[in-house]
Amino acid sequence: MVRKAQQNNLICGLAYNLIDKGVAILHYADDTIVCIKDNIDTARNMELLLYLYEMMSILKINFSKSEVLLINGDEEKYMQYAELFNCQMGRFPIKYLGVPVSPSKLHVCDWAPLIDKNEKKLSTWRGSSLSIAGRTTLINSSLSNSFIYHMSIYLLPKTIVAKLDKQRRILEGLKENIIL
């Protein structure tokens, strides 16, 4: 439906100068990002398509969990689009597949959830009944994979890399204290 709407010039996605008619939908599992050009008529067409999709598929879009995000725009436009789609106004950075995404540079504070997530993992594993070797293997493989996943997308700030390495070294310190 979206492709047909794009072919009929009812919808124009983002990056239309690079890709014919632009990218209108990014979809992974149950997450969907709809990208449209900043144009109220295009937005109305997309709203109509979303409601037609609901009627045809018998699936319900939860607009109360959805957000409108503008890359550039004022508060009035934000409110206009949020009212049109009957959803909330979101703010960047957003999290997509566990990674923060923003049209502007990410700040160190945007990476704090990664540090907190790793700390939470570490605190639950510290009290487990695993052996030191098992715990070391679990933590190193799990935390290393998390770092690699994020670093395959972004160059992490040096302070974040240092904090992540410090979290992993804490385990090494615990291991040495127990062996001694």
Residue-level pLDDT, tens digit, the chain, 180 residues: 888 998 898 999 888 888 888 888 888 888 888 899 899 999 999 999 999 999 999 889 898 889 999 988 788 999 999 999 999 999 899 888 888 888 888 999 999 888 888 888 777 766 666 677 777 777 667 777 777 888 888 888 999 989 888 887 776 555 544 443
Separation CA 122–CA 168 (nearest Å): 9
CA atoms within 13 A on the CB side of 32: 11
Q: Distances from the Cα of 115 to the Cαs of 12, 133, 160, 170, in angstroms?
A: 38, 23, 8, 14
What local confidence, expressed as pLDDT, does residue 19 receive?
86
What pLDDT score was predicted for residue 57? Answer: 92
For residues 143 and 146, give the distance between their C-alpha atoms in angstroms, rounded to a whole number.
5
pLDDT number for residue 166: 85
Structural contact between residues 166 and 141, judged by C-beta atoms closer than 8 angstroms:
no
Helix (H), strand (E) at residue 78:
helix 75-85
Distance CA 99, CA 165 (A): 19
**Predicted pLDDT of residue 127:** 60
pLDDT the model gives residue 180: 38
Strands (DSSP E) found in 52-129: 67-68, 88-89, 94-96, 99-101
